[in-house]
Amino acid sequence: MYLIVGLGNPGRKYAHTRHNVGFDVIDVLSQKYDIPLLKLRDKAVVGEGRIRGQRVALAQPQTFMNLSGESVVQLVSWYKPEDDHLLVVFDDVDLPEGKLRFRPSGSAGTHNGMRNIIYLLGRDDFPRLRVGIGRPPEGWDMKDWVLAGYDTKELRQTMFDAYLGAADVVAEWIEGGVDAARQLVGKLNG
């Protein structure tokens, strides 16, 4: 069983904002692989199905970003994925808008949601896929930046393309592992 968790904040107010890229990638996976997100389990909206022949659970924690670990710990306890079969998808202000980064393990960086997950799981040895949202312009508060949407048609297209690419990276990781996922990220980032 693979557990793919996309981070974000619940509610219409936060839909399609920079901080919700994890939710948006999960939505793309849900649609592409016909895995409806219908269950409420472990403080998350969850869908179960198959991607490239493997059993998967897609999850969007409903705890708000900074408490994401509360849901992830419960999901891991329920689904019991092998250590390397948990993948977390989230936004990264240190990557340019639309760029991807895949890592098999590592720190939370500046991301409070990942920091909470690592703290509550007690480990950081699980894969993660970051989607770049760029740094705020001069004079912008970081919180306002990550909770803002995309203000141009071109940027919305860039980010949607990134979500499609991220979904492909997730599928590639499930089928071919870390190296295959990294190779695809390299191609997508061009």
Q: Could you list the active site residues?
A: 19
48, β-bridge pairs: 57
- Candidates 94, 97, 78, 95; CA nearest to 86 is 78
What whole-number distance in Å separates Cα of residue 171 and Cα of residue 164? Answer: 11
What whole-number distance in Å separates Cα of residue 103 and Cα of residue 130? Answer: 8
Return the biggest CA–CA distance within the chain: 48
Q: How many CB atoms lie within 10 A of CB 57?
A: 21
Q: Residue 169 to residues 22, 51, 164, 180: CA-CA distances in angstroms?
A: 13, 12, 9, 8
Q: How many CB atoms lie within 10 A of CB 103?
A: 17
